[in-house]
Amino acid sequence: MLSMPRRPFFWIITLAVVAFALAPVYGNDVSLRESLLLDALYITLASNLNLMLGYAGYVNFGSIVFFGLGGYICVWLVNSYKWTLAPSLVVAGVCVSGLALIFGFGILRLRGAFFALSTIGVIEAVQAFAENFTPWGGSSGIYLPASIFTPLGGPAHALWIIYFIMVGVMGASLYLSYAIKTSKFGLGLLAIGQNEDAAAILGVPTSRYKAVVYSVSAFLPAIAGGLYFFKSAFIQPSDAFDLSLSTEALVVGMLGGQGTVTGVAIGAFLYEELRGYLLTSSTFANFQLVVSGALLLLIVLFFPGGLMGWIYSRFPRTQKVLE
């Protein structure tokens, strides 16, 4: 991992992060910032999902549960205990990772489709729980008063700070993805993804690795969740545990090319831009779902390697540089 700075891909990631950070500053472009924030969020969610999906081969339909729980813990700490943003984010990340580790040992005993289904069960159970849990406002959720932005210098200023933190989180996700992929741990995960039983026989500590990666894949999405819902000043169960966001993260992973760091990032970026366009275009507004679905079908049927798969096959030398 320490050899990373010597590899060109490390600098490609750094360049992307800097570009994200600086682009809206130039010209004080607020609407660009808002749309880049969403891009950064999708990239974060998809990259972390990729750790389970692309590397270890486990489909996590409920990856959004980390995002939602992180959001709730952060907002709850800020609201009920008057904490400031930074410690709340860290605690949210640590708590959700810890929970994931515990949960993980249970559901990671399942394989393939069963695991996928159990993740749906987990997210539905957690959402139903949040709707009943009174300290978290039940189904009404938690409202944050405007005063939360005062320690950050007022709403306008705070929105910029939040943006930079989110870009940081996105960068951390990309570095993390890359670091794992080039490590022994990552090799073990890929082996599990190829053939879990063979990997076990060859000495890969499969249950430990799976639990660790599940827990690690929860940390940054939880922080992203805390950030997102703090910014929204409002969280309710149906927004925090929106199953369709999970599936979008999945689509994004497939679109870009699962198991690749670049692919997932590009996929997230493209998908979010497409979605934003579809959402506001008067011709397509009713057809978003149709377009997303058709796109996904085409990819799954004809381009299972996603965008990166296509790029690798056309330009084999990029495989050495772009992970």
Partner 1 sequence: MLGILASVIDGVLVGLVYGLAAMGLTLIWGVMDVINLTHGAMIVAGMFALFLLTSVLGLNPYVAMAPVLIGGFFVGVTLYWIAIHRMVGRPPLMSLLSTFSVNLVLIGVGTAVWGTALFNVDVSLPGFTMGRYTFPGAHILAAVLAAVIATALYLFLQHTRLGKSIRAVANNREAAELVGIPTTRVLAISVGLGVALAGVSGVLIATLFPFTVLSGDGYQLKGFVVTVLGGFGNPIGALMGGIALGLLEGAVTPFVPVSWTLVIEFVLFVLVLIAFPAGIFRSRRGAL
Partner 2 sequence: MKRLILLAAAAAFIATPAFAEDTITVGFTDSQTGPLNVDSLGQQHGYEFWRDEVNAKGGIKVGGKTYKVKFVSYDDQSVGGRVQQLYTRLINQDKANFLFSPYSSGLTAPAAVISEQYSKIMIDSGGAEEKPFEQGNKYLFMVITSAGHYLSGAVAALKAKDPNAKIAMVYSDDPFSKAVLAAAAQQAKAAGLQIVMNEAYSPSTTDFGPIVNKIVSSNADAVLGGGHYSDGATLARQMHDQKANMKWISLLVAPADDKFGDLGASALGVTVPSQWELQVNYKPQFGPTTAAFAKAFQDKFHLKADYHAASGYTSGVVLQHAIELAGSIDPEKVTAALNGMDITTFFGHIKFMTDPGHHGLQAAHEMVLAQWQMVNGKLGRQVVWPQAAKSADLLFPIPAAMQ
Residues near partner 1 (CB under 8 A) are: 57, 59, 106-107, 109-110, 112-114, 116-118, 120-122, 124-125, 128-129, 131-132, 247, 250-251, 254, 286-297, 300-301, 304
Q: Which helix (H) or strand (E) holds 278?
A: helix 261-280
Asked if 294 is part of the footprint of partner 2 (rule: CB under 8 A), the reply reads no
Least distance from partner 2 to the Cβ atom of residue 68, Å: 11
242 lies in the binding site for partner 2 (CB under 8 A): yes
Our finding on whether 273 is near partner 2 (CB under 8 A) is no
Residue 41: closest CA among 257, 223, 176, 215: 223
Nearer to partner 1, 57 or 186 (CB): 57
Work out what residue 30 binds among partner 2, partner 1, none; the CB cut-off runs from 5 to 8 Å by kind. Answer: partner 2
- 231 contacts: CB under 8 Å, gap ≥ 6: 159, 162
143 binds partner 2 (CB under 8 A): yes
Q: Which of the listed partners (partner 2, partner 1, none) does 120 bind, with a CB threshold of 5 to 8 Å by partner kind?
A: partner 1
- Identify which of residues 92 and 162 has a Cβ nearer to partner 2 in the complex: 162
Out of 128, 201, 298, 300, the only residue in the binding site for partner 2 (CB under 8 A) is 128
* Phi, psi values for residue 143, rounded to 5°: -105, 135
Interacting residues of 278 by C-beta distance below 8 A, sequence separation 6+: 284, 285, 287, 288, 291, 292
Which listed option, partner 1, partner 2, none, makes contact with residue 31 (CB within 5 to 8 Å by class)? Answer: partner 2
Question: Should residue 85 be labelled a site residue for partner 2 when binding is judged by CB under 8 A?
Answer: no
Quote the DSSP letter at residue 258: T
- Comparing C-alpha atoms, which of 288, 269, 291, 289 is closest to residue 280? 288
Task: Tell me the residue length of the chain.
Answer: 323
As a whole number of Å, the CA-based R_g of the chain is 19
CB of 258 to partner 1, least distance (A): 9
| 80 scored as a contact of partner 2 (CB under 8 A) | no
- Binding of partner 2 at residue 140 (CB under 8 A)? yes
The closest alpha carbon to 64, from 213, 234, 239, belongs to 239
Eight-state DSSP code of residue 181: H
Task: Select the binding partner of residue 146 from partner 2, partner 1, none (C-beta < 5 to 8 A, by kind).
Answer: partner 2
CB nearer to partner 1: give 177 or 292: 292
> What tokens were used for 284?
């397509």
Using CB under 8 A as the binding rule, whether residue 141 contacts partner 2 is answered as yes
DSSP labels, 116-169: HHHHHHHHHHHHHHHHH-GGGTGGG-EE--GGGGGGGTSHHHHHHHHHHHHHHH
Burial of 313 (0-12, 13-18, 19+ CB in 10 A): exposed
Per CB under 8 A, the list member of 285, 298, 300, 321 interacting with partner 2 is 285
Please give the Cα distance from 275 to 279 (Å, whole number).
6
Site residues, partner 2 (CB under 8 A): 30-31, 34, 38, 128, 131, 138-141, 143-147, 155-156, 159, 232-234, 236, 238-239, 242, 245, 276, 279-280, 285-286
